[in-house]
Structure 1
């Protein structure tokens, strides 16, 4: 009986992962629950129950939060686009509904958020003493030279994880155990950063551990498969130890991006690990941070 329940749970996770991939492929789309339920192959009523059980919040809350996080990024780092444009790109039907939702979440209007001083804002990740100490260490370091590279799309197997911290190691261990059983290579490792820890609490940050695959998965469950979009990326080579990565990423997004003349795209930024600090005992990392950008405004 336990095996049957576990299989059912894995099937639910796999189907909801398909929905999450669809949501994040275009956050500006309408995303009606009926369509999402069809993707998951559930009735609409059952879909709502399963989604909340797997994700921990309702589908409406998840989409709203994802849209607002995307909008907050755009307001902060794309100063050329109007609030109306940001609202539309974030999937809101009107500026008034967008403004109400934004203020309810961030306790300020979109205009106030855009004009706030990043230098005086305290990112949520600085509440973690270890990351705060790392933040102080890297402030005087010069960012490495950026390369603008047209990257290919990447087919990956993945495990989702909520919360940014050492607990991410569990997602990687699950993925590595799966790769060993399946006889898959795990040399090409990627980590998707789907949340900006400059304003999203570490416990709410969404991270995806990924391994490159060359053929699709026939059996899916906790481990699923997707495609990381290709396109133009600003690529930074970074190295350091646990705690230093988030400050580095924030420094790139807050300092380099606004003055670069580029616009951040809606697809997730990701890291390509050469040395993974979540897996290596010395907790050192060597990686490429790949930020999707565009020259179109």
Structure 2
């Protein structure tokens, strides 16, 4: 089953090599891989051991190092067709990667080693099951910034819901996470903290309504402090998903919290990570 994912990543690799001066955005590469934009980066990083940005940077700099030896093109022209619009940025990136300037590589005349995808190493194992759920109706508030700081937003959501007398109509506590922390700066991470709403009560500001479309989901059970969730995501998208042959839907992952740090020891916290499947 992992072969289909290997083929997807090889398409990305070949596309990057052929389009170094083109659009290498995550959305474009997700389309090349035929994977959801919400999940592509997690799959790529989980399977290769490096981020898309690190991979494209390596390819660009390797292509530049080869061009320095194989052509007499000026450095600024090489920088341009390797995807760098600013020669100063190229010079800084090149020297950071190789420890010497482009001119030194050209004068030395020694080819650099061929590029290979990194190995991700061994994963910790987690229990993953496939589950079918109906649509989930949520009352949420948005959060921008580090995911580990979303707790304050959950507190606000729960306080508002309880003061409005909606306690009897609350279901599971749910967090929806739109971005991969390995691909987006921490300050720009987008997420929503909320609670499942049973019935049809009126939801007004500052709360918003959100609906998670039902269907099939891969559900990973994680136990422990929230700081360890990154490893669980890496296993789910880098190991379990490719081996299963399942394909993620174009919908973000979300977390269901079965207990709360306010009344639970951190080692006993249980989080379910849901990855929507086709």
TM-score (norm 1): 0.53
Give the structure 1 partner of residue 237 of structure 2.
253
CA-atom RMSD in angstroms: 3.9
Cα deviation 1:47-88 (Å, max 9, x = unaligned): xxxxxxxxxxxxxxxxxxxxxxxxxxxxx88818967xxxxx
Shift of 1:119: 3.9
State which of 214, 218, 223 in structure 1 corresponds to 2:202: 218
Larger relative CO (CA 8 A, sep 6+): 1 or 2? 2
Larger Rg: 2
Give the structure 1 partner of residue 133 of structure 2.
151
In structure 2, the CA distance between the partners of 1:205 and 1:123, relative to structure 1 (3 Å rule), is farther
- The separation in 2 between residues aligned to 1:181 and 1:159, in whole angstroms, is 16
- The separation in 2 between residues aligned to 1:160 and 1:206, in whole angstroms, is 8
- The separation in 1 between residues aligned to 2:151 and 2:136, in whole angstroms, is 22
State which of 121, 137, 143 in structure 1 corresponds to 2:50: 121
State which of 180, 190, 202 in structure 1 corresponds to 2:162: 180
Shift of 1:103: 5.0
State which of 151, 161, 167 in structure 2 corresponds to 1:169: 151
Cα deviation 1:21-60 (Å, max 9, x = unaligned): xxxxxxxxxxxxxxxxxxxxxxxxxxxxxxxxxxxxxxxx
What stretches of structure 1 of length at least 5 have no aligned partner? 1-75, 84-95, 125-138
In structure 2, the CA distance between the partners of 1:258 and 1:249, relative to structure 1 (3 Å rule), is same
Shift of 1:248: 0.9
Where do residues 1-297 of structure 1 align in structure 2 (5 Å cutoff)?
A: 79=8, 100-103=22-25, 118-121=47-50, 141-144=124-127, 146-185=128-167, 186-277=170-261, 282-284=265-267, 285-294=269-278
TM-score (norm 2): 0.56
Secondary structure of 2:195's aligned partner: strand
Aligned length, in residue pairs: 189
Secondary structure of 2:148's aligned partner: coil
Q: Would the aligned equivalents of 2:47 and 2:239 in 1 still touch at CA under 8 Å? A: no
Secondary structure of 1:226's aligned partner: strand
In structure 2, the CA distance between the partners of 1:182 and 1:117, relative to structure 1 (3 Å rule), is closer
In structure 2, the CA distance between the partners of 1:142 and 1:115, relative to structure 1 (3 Å rule), is closer
Q: Would the aligned equivalents of 1:163 and 1:204 in 2 still touch at CA under 8 Å? A: yes
In structure 2, the CA distance between the partners of 1:104 and 1:175, relative to structure 1 (3 Å rule), is closer
- The separation in 2 between residues aligned to 1:166 and 1:115, in whole angstroms, is 23
Q: Would the aligned equivalents of 2:126 and 2:221 in 1 still touch at CA under 8 Å? A: no
What stretches of structure 2 of length at least 5 have no aligned partner? 13-18, 34-40, 54-121
Q: Would the aligned equivalents of 2:178 and 2:252 in 1 still touch at CA under 8 Å? A: yes
Give the structure 1 partner of residue 90 of structure 2.
none
- The separation in 2 between residues aligned to 1:116 and 1:164, in whole angstroms, is 19
In structure 2, the CA distance between the partners of 1:241 and 1:115, relative to structure 1 (3 Å rule), is closer
